[in-house]
Amino acid sequence: MTRIGRVRLLLSAVALFASTVLATGPTVSASGPVYTITPVGPAGGDYRPVAVNSADEIIGRDSGGNPFYVESGTIYHPAAPATASCWYLTGLNESGLVVGYVETGPHCTAPVEAFRATIGPNFLVHTLANTGGSDSTGCAALSVNDGGDVAGVCDTPAGSREVTWTPIIGFGYGAAAPLTLPSGTVAPPDMGSHPPTVTQAIDNAGDAIGQARCSANHRTSVAVIWAANGHGSILGNSACHSPHSNSAPTIAAAVASNVSGGPGMESGPVFVSGLCRFSGTGSGQKNKPCLWSLHYSSGSLRLSSPAVLDSSASKFARAVDVNAAGWVIGAQGNRPNTTVLWLPHGSGHQHHSLTAEAANPSWVLPGPCDHALGAAAMSAVGDIVGTGEKSQSSTGFLMKVVAGPAGTRMWARQATSRRGVSGSGCQS
């Protein structure tokens, strides 16, 4: 199976509205927001939501691996493309535009085709063109922003390449455009090689994130961000200073932004959540969940070092998704894990147990180290989807914010986020 064919094994992943808020940090109550929780799919049905938008439209897969989407609270199973042996919905934006990929070979193998579709009664799959060269063996679309820009990956004989597709008004989409890797790095390998990671997501400013390997040893995985102008940079705390081998890669898992201004004049925050190598990690940890708080100023993306998201008592921890207010979802703890929400608090972040916030004794929300359960994605308004345990049975869930920080939902809706795919897996 190709690297793209194994991407599905890694699918599990609120604006800061004024400069004064950015300077002082939003006020978040010590108890955090209050959520209601409802099943997605039948109780015990093991539905796996992977993305949600502010209208609570949801995409994911059922227990049989079949794609589904939720519109106005109703679950639909769209018809598979005629060429598909297996197919997957991977990205969703605020207008209901969906992206994904189709495996057209026997038994879920290559060739692989990227596609787009729209939630609704006419859920028609439209193929996205590959790179246009003879070296491409297939592409997968993994994320879409609210402007319709799509990010994904294309397999080539030389390895995998992160790519983007750009909408052309009146003409659909152009061919996949490979992103230029930063100096000192090479493309990620097939999924069977080291490091076994794939991440590709895109925010509303057009910034894309992904992975690369250090060219010095072709092993060490580093996190990369491509600014809207196409320039690729290695994210802070993720470096290729020496040809060392490291089995704990630094991973960019999700990206969201609240950027305004025309080309060359962009201004505003960009948040990237993921896993970072740090010295002095918790018991048994090689990586820690982290958040890069980047910023556009006069059209230039200013990089910074990541901040640790508290998980000091955890052997296993993971940051899965982030929205445009810097809210982060993930998990921490030993086995069993606990799914958590990290919220801005003063100059840092404070974590909250989602099982406690849901306040529903029939639900338990373990983390991704427990049978790949836990939160998978968060919307711009703070609503969360994933898979938990309801009455001890694996069940998809939707958590909706109903109370919490003053004006949470109104504040959240002042900017949109995007949904990408986390390729971080369970890091210990």
What's the pLDDT score for residue 311? 64
Of residues 405, 403, 254, 283, the one with CA closest to residue 344: 405
What's the pLDDT score for residue 334? 62
Looking at the domain that runs over 17-412, which CATH code has it been given? Answer: 2.130.10.150
Instruction: Output 170 or 298, whichever has higher pLDDT.
Output: 298
Average pLDDT, the chain: 78
Instruction: Output 3 or 182, whichever has higher pLDDT.
Output: 182
Confidence band for 278, pLDDT divided at 50, 70 and 90: low
Q: Do residues 179 and 209 touch, judged by C-beta distance below 8 A?
A: no
Average pLDDT (270-277) is 89
pLDDT at 212 over 50: yes
Lookup result for tokens 């609570």: 56
Radius of gyration of the chain (CA): 20
Confidence band for 335, pLDDT divided at 50, 70 and 90: low
What's the pLDDT score for residue 365? 79
Q: What share of the chain is helix, strand, coil (3-state, %, to 5)?
A: 5, 45, 50
pLDDT at 384 over 60: yes
pLDDT at 411 over 50: no
Average pLDDT (302-323) is 81
pLDDT at 271 over 90: yes
pLDDT at 413 over 60: no
Lookup result for tokens 């998809």: 396
At 98-149, the pLDDT tens digits run 999 999 989 888 888 999 999 998 899 999 988 765 555 688 999 999 999 9
Average pLDDT (235-240) is 73
Q: Do residues 415 and 271 touch, judged by C-beta distance below 8 A?
A: no
Average pLDDT (191-209) is 71
In this structure, the dihedral spanned by the alpha carbons of residues 188, 191, 194 and 200, taken in order and rounded to 10 degrees, is 40
CA–CA dist 58, 54 (Å, integer): 10
Average pLDDT (160-167) is 89
Beta strand 348-353 pairing with 338-345? antiparallel
pLDDT at 241 over 90: no
What's the pLDDT score for residue 358? 65
Q: How is residue 387 written in tokens?
A: 């898979």
Q: Do residues 379 and 323 touch, judged by C-beta distance below 8 A?
A: yes
Instruction: Output 305 or 405, whichever has higher pLDDT.
Output: 305
Domain boundaries, given as residue ranges, for the chain: 17-412
In this structure, the dihedral spanned by the alpha carbons of residues 54, 57, 59 and 62, taken in order and rounded to 10 degrees, is 130
Average pLDDT (349-370) is 72
Q: pTM of the full predicted structure?
A: 0.85
What's the pLDDT score for residue 286? 63
Written in H, E and C, the secondary structure of 150-184 is: EEEEEEECCEEEEEEECEECCCEECCCEECCCCCC
What's the pLDDT score for residue 131? 75
Confidence band for 228, pLDDT divided at 50, 70 and 90: confident
